[in-house]
Amino acid sequence: MRVLLAAPPSTARLHNLMPLAWALRTSGHEVQIAGRPKFTETITTTGFVAVAAGTDGSGDRLAGESDVDDLTSYAALWRPSLVVWDAHAPAGAEVARAVGAASVRVLNPSDDDGPAGGPVPDATVNCLPPSLRAPEDTGHLPVRYVHYSGPSVIPAWLRRKPRRRRVLVTTQDAAGLSGTVLDPALFDTAARLRIELVCTLAEDQIPSGTTIPANVRFFDAVPVDAVLPTCAAIVHDGTAAQAMAALTNGLPQLAVGASGLAARIAEHGAGLVAGQADGPALEKLVDDASLPENARRLGAEMAAMPSPRELVPELARIAGSRAR
């Protein structure tokens, strides 16, 4: 089966498609990924063939008329049986309709069921555990969330077992937790707690005059997939990928500038939300025993969902039904 994926010009949303893309490929299907011309280099870093579509613009969607025209022309030649599209790449739905392919939408964890009157797919794939879904998100194909963040290298320090409970402080954009977001009192609290604070921030991003205790370490970046299993908790900037990665590992989380997803996680007692990462929030994050208990409960709910590979036969069935 030939499968064309449509991705908007967003690295986070492309990464959300990767586990399913790899599941399709390792099941023997041919997979290509369409995106804006300037986004194709990002696509090829995932190991897939990129198809340039439309023109580059400032928007975060693949939805314009030129996007549809370019993709339709290509799809008419390549003849995919299935078009899988991110909710911010509805051009994929139009292309599927034009060439008679099956149409499957993939929701990002931060998405709802989509606006009324939008493209209607043959199926919608949703990685949120049932407890975190909106009431209207019914009839979706469930799939287990698998975190993907691109190529990385395991550093030497991560090969050693931490001597204290490790807390990761990270953001999608490291500058997002600098200055006004990180309260200097966070480090005073960290000094009193028996934890190791690992921060993906440069020291010059911390407000001047801040005393950095010995149990705080700074790195330009860390491989999230590798570090989270060694952690007791995570502080992040509210992005869906970080929130879901924390739940996958059964970790309590403190979301700064929280998204709707992080707020729902907090409502289920598996995390906290705050305007900034300060001392009291950090202390509650590592000392409240109910937070990891609830995070593990949601993590177990996610683990019980079908894997991306287990979803592939259903996608093949949908494509076959459309062909008939």
Do 316 and 273 share a structural domain? Answer: no
Beta-carbon contacts of residue 66 (< 8 Å; ≥ 6 apart): 54, 55
**Residue 189 in domain:** yes
Q: Is 197 helix (H, G, I), strand (E, B) or coil?
A: strand
Q: How many CB atoms are closer than 10 A to CB 134?
A: 12
Q: Is 109 helix (H, G, I), strand (E, B) or coil?
A: coil
Sole residue written with tokens 């921060």: 199
Q: What local confidence, expressed as pLDDT, does residue 174 receive?
A: 43
Q: What local confidence, expressed as pLDDT, does residue 258 receive?
A: 66
Q: What is the DSSP letter of 5?
A: E
Do 57 and 83 share a structural domain? Answer: yes
**Residue 151 in domain:** no
Do 199 and 271 share a structural domain? Answer: yes
Do 291 and 229 share a structural domain? Answer: yes
Do 235 and 131 share a structural domain? Answer: no
CA separation (Å) from 16 to 11, 71, 207?
A: 9, 21, 34
How far is the C-alpha of 101 from the C-alpha of 323, rounded, in Å? Answer: 7
Q: Which helix (H) or strand (E) holds 300?
A: helix 290-303
**CA-wise closest residue to 108 among 91, 121, 125, 83:** 125
Contact, 254 vs 234, CB < 8 A?
yes
Single-letter residue type at 294: N
How far is the C-alpha of 141 from the C-alpha of 185, rounded, in Å? Answer: 45
Do 311 and 294 share a structural domain? Answer: no
**CA-wise closest residue to 34 among 66, 58, 23:** 66
Do 60 and 170 share a structural domain? Answer: no
**Residue 244 in domain:** yes
- 79: domain CATH number is 3.40.50.2000
Q: What local confidence, expressed as pLDDT, does residue 21 receive?
A: 98
Contact, 7 vs 13, CB < 8 A?
yes
Q: What local confidence, expressed as pLDDT, does residue 307 receive?
A: 98
Do 243 and 199 share a structural domain? Answer: yes
Do 140 and 6 share a structural domain? Answer: yes
The alpha helices in 1-85, defined as continuous H runs, are 11-26, 40-44, 65-78
Do 92 and 168 share a structural domain? Answer: no
Look at the chain and report how many structural domains it folds into. 2
Contact, 279 vs 197, CB < 8 A?
no
Q: What local confidence, expressed as pLDDT, does residue 178 receive?
A: 43
Residue 256: give the domain boundaries: 156-303
Sole residue written with tokens 């996610």: 302
pLDDT by position in tens, the chain (length 324): 999 999 999 999 999 999 999 999 999 999 999 999 999 999 999 999 999 998 887 577 888 888 899 999 999 999 999 999 999 999 999 999 999 999 999 999 988 655 556 788 999 999 999 999 987 778 899 999 999 988 889 999 999 999 999 999 986 554 444 443 567 888 899 999 999 999 886 555 677 778 889 999 988 888 998 999 999 999 998 889 999 999 999 999 999 876 689 999 999 999 999 888 889 999 999 999 999 999 999 999 999 999 999 999 999 999 998 766
Q: Is 238 helix (H, G, I), strand (E, B) or coil?
A: coil
**Residue 27 in domain:** yes
**CA-wise closest residue to 99 among 124, 122, 121, 80:** 80
**CA-wise closest residue to 278 among 188, 217, 162, 155:** 188
How far is the C-alpha of 222 from the C-alpha of 172, rounded, in Å? Answer: 11
**Residue 256 in domain:** yes
Do 178 and 141 share a structural domain? Answer: no
Phi, psi of 148 (to 5 degrees): -135, 130
Do 285 and 183 share a structural domain? Answer: yes
Specify whether the backbone of 259 is left (phi greater than 0), alpha (psi in -120 to 50) or beta. beta
Contact, 85 vs 74, CB < 8 A?
no
**Residue 150 in domain:** no
